[in-house]
Structures are given as structure tokens and as C-alpha cells.
Amino acid sequence: MGIGYPIDLVVCTLLGVDQFDCVFATRTARFGTAFTEYGFLKLKSEKNKYDFEPISKECKCEICAKYSRSYLYFLFNNNPRAAEMISFHNVFYLLNLMKRLRDSIIDGKVNEFIKDFITKQYENSQEGVPDWVVNILTKAGCDMSFISGKTNDKSFDD
């Protein structure tokens, strides 16, 4: 199946897909990258060397509760356990993402969820929100009017 990017899980769910299986969360962790509500965080990056924040302040997983980015940066360069810890976080993140999406569907608040999720995911993106995301979510019935002018490609064709 190979659907593992957070944006792909959200889009596919809103199109009716209800089963996913992908190694992306754990493979990405083996390269030192963690999922966050603001996109991907490369923990192997030198900028994390003295960053004592958790991977994500909003995350409730045991890795974020106990360990800093700095510790994971150090551990990643010295111990293979870091990949397991980041994998745990990434899988937790995806499970929580899907729970929040499910709850928003049940509560009739999908548009609020989408606005929050898309805004945070692409907040630091220089390219903006991909047109295919806006177009597909619009076709799925989501209100994407909050995007206006923040997209990056014109490759989607009706």
C-alpha cells in the first residue's frame, strides 16, 4: 500500500480509505527524522545538539515526555536505540493523527481539523501547500478557502 506520509493519510482517509500499511514511519526514523505537527524534524541536524525541547511539545508519547532533541541527537550518533525511540514517536504520532481525524469526522468538525492540520504542516514550507492537496480535499468536500494563494504547483488536472 505504501501510504505513510501524514498528509497522505489525511487525504486518503477523507477519500474513504480505511486501511494503511507502510514502513515510512520507521524507515524515516532510522534516518533520524521525526514526524511533528509542523512537518518533519531532522534530529540528526546539528541545530538539535543543544535543543532541550522534546520532539514535539504537543505530543503525549513517552519519548517526548522523557527525552530532549539534544539527547536524541547525541544518542542517534552513538547508539542504534535512537532509531527505535524515534520510530516509537512516529508511530504514536500517526495513531494520534488518525484518532484526531476520526474524532473530527464523528464530531462534524473536519473543516476545523483540516485547517489546523494543513496550516501547521505547511507553516514553514517555502513551497506552500501542494495544489493536489487543495484540489483533492476540495473534491472531498473540505473548505479549503483558508489557503488562497499559498499553493505551489499547477500539475493537478480535473
Domain positions in the chain: 6-139
Q: What are phi and psi of 36, to 5 degrees?
A: -140, 165
pLDDT of residue 151: 54
pLDDT of residue 98: 97
pLDDT of residue 155: 46
Distance CA 52, CA 67 (A): 8
Alpha helices in the chain, H assignment, sequence order: 6-14, 24-30, 62-66, 69-76, 81-106, 110-121, 131-139
Residues 4, 87 contacting (CB under 8 angstroms): no
E strands present in the chain: 33-36, 39-42
Count of C-beta atoms within a 10 Å radius of residue 142:
20
pLDDT of residue 156: 41
Indicate the CATH number of 6-139 among 3.20.20.105, 3.30.70.1230, 1.10.3720.10, 3.90.380.10: 3.20.20.105
pLDDT of residue 158: 40
- pLDDT profile of the chain (158 residues), mean per 10: 90 92 94 96 95 97 97 90 96 97 97 97 90 95 83 47
pLDDT of residue 157: 43
